[in-house]
Amino acid sequence: MWLITFSLVGVFYFYWNFIRPLNTWKNYGIPYIKGWPLVGNFLKNALKRESFGDAVISMYKAFPNEPYCGSFVFSAPRLLIRDANLLKDIGIKDFDHFTDHTKIFFGDGFDPIFDKNLFSLDGQNWRDMRATLSPAFTGSKMRGIFVLMNECGNQLVNYLNDKIKTENNQKHLELELKDLFTRFTNDIIATTAFGIKVDSLKEPENKFYLMGREVTYFSTFRLFLMNFIPTIMRLLNIGILSKAACGYFRNLVFQTISMRETQKIVRPDMLNILLQTKNGLLKNDDKGDDNGGFAAATEGKVGGKIRKLTDEDVTAQAFIFFLAGFDTVSTAMCFTVYELALNPDIQQRLYSEINDALDGNPNAEVTYETLHRMKYLDMIISESLRKWPPAVFIDRECTKPYRLKTDNGKEIMIPTDMGIVIPIMGIHRDPKYYPNPEKFDPERFSDENKSKINMNAYLPFGVGPRVCIGSRFALMETKILIVHLIINFEVILTSKSTVPPRLSTQSSNMAIENGFNVGLKPRNF
């Protein structure tokens, strides 16, 4: 009897949560992409026959003449927005209706260190935290952090030069960029966000890096369970993040805070800025000269109140900087440098710009002002983020009912709690917005052409007040890496390089099939 009852409950639970939602869009009378139980519109991706990015492009192309359509992320119905004007309405004009992220991948109550970070917070808590942290990411604050980042750039070049000399004096070094750049971004986050200096290139097994890898390794099976049986997972106290690694980072921040406060230590890093915020001493000294570049996100006012941070708050923000910087930024670096290898003429022009800026001396010290005067470098990175956006889609959740109207007279009432999907990868590859979108063409972002770009269709860091708060930080470390790399090495293709590049179907992250394999040829060899 119990077995029959349990089976019936299980069947009903499966139907209610995974079959019933797939009929949602029939009731709205709008075109929709047929979904499958558990995987929604990502069946081919789940079967490793299509990359995540290509899946999003396929969804975007399903109804090319529609401003929006119904879609499914896992079994959750999500309204997919295709029209750039609607994106402006949802992301900026009517932001008050879409202030929060959906809980597609991370639900509340699993990992305290994750629940309190800026990305995860909702409602007024998010508004207050955003208003509190915004002064920490102004151009003037980035200027102070530049020195620490630049040290990591010099550290990278020294490592590569030593490696070439010790490996049979070969004329070029073959390597896979992802591991190299992940270690570089790891060291930058260590020094700028956690206040410690590490060298993950010379000390590949250092604890900070190993804990970083552990905490950023998301178990696909756990992720699946968290989305479909969250209550049981909470009862079992099982989260997606490694508790040992989370504990390591929490203790590291707590110890560093204690040492700095008792010994009156001041260091020009992000942790010091967070401590100023904690003590109510952080001033907004932004004078409008942010030097972030074309892709740098512009924030809108969010109506939050400045608050004092607790040590737990400081830890949570440092932790989300780590998660974003460890993988997302290194991925953007990989695609940019790989495109330079694929396009030697573009690389040569960039080298000439960098060489001129350094007065022909590759050993000259790179300065903050010099870095941000390099227009072609900014054009290259802007185009790389267009063609290979690190986030292939972003989401929003409707927080109060919203009537979505289009230019052709169509409208739909979006209820509270309905999720919205913004398919960045599809929009960035749409020839309506970017002619010949498969071509890597930095000239799109030249002074003569950038005014032609529909800014509602350029979303590398998101849209509206909820854009990535660390865009200037990410752009600056990416530029530092490329300047140090290109002034010292020519990036070339090797027999292992994938040409043309194809997105990997085996990785859940943005990656090229068979890896970012290139060669580095010293310019002064």
Report the binding-site residues for heme: 468
Answer yes or no: are the C-beta atoms of 217 and 241 closer than 8 Å.
Answer: no
Which residues lie below 8 Å from residue 342, measured CB to CB, with a gap of 6+? Answer: 440, 493, 499, 500, 501
Burial of 288 (0-12, 13-18, 19+ CB in 10 A): exposed
Which residues lie below 8 Å from residue 58, measured CB to CB, with a gap of 6+? Answer: 50
CA distance 4 to 74: 28
Q: Which residues pair with 489 in a beta bridge?
A: 522
Residue type, 326: F
User: Order of strands across the sheet with 68-73?
Assistant: 68-73, 76-81, 419-422, 394-397
Residue of 509, 292, 224 lying closest to 391 (CA atoms) = 509
Residue of 386, 390, 417 lying closest to 511 (CA atoms) = 390
CA distance 264 to 210: 30
CA distance 171 to 176: 17
Residue of 122, 189, 119 lying closest to 330 (CA atoms) = 189
Which residues belong to the annotated binding site? 468
CA distance 436 to 386: 12
CA distance 328 to 78: 24
Residue type, 26: K
Residue of 116, 114, 108, 98 lying closest to 400 (CA atoms) = 98
Integer-rounded Cα Rg, in Å, for the chain is 23
Helix axes 375-387, 344-357, angle to 10 degrees: 140
Q: Residue 78, CB half-sphere, CA atoms under 13 Å: how many?
A: 28
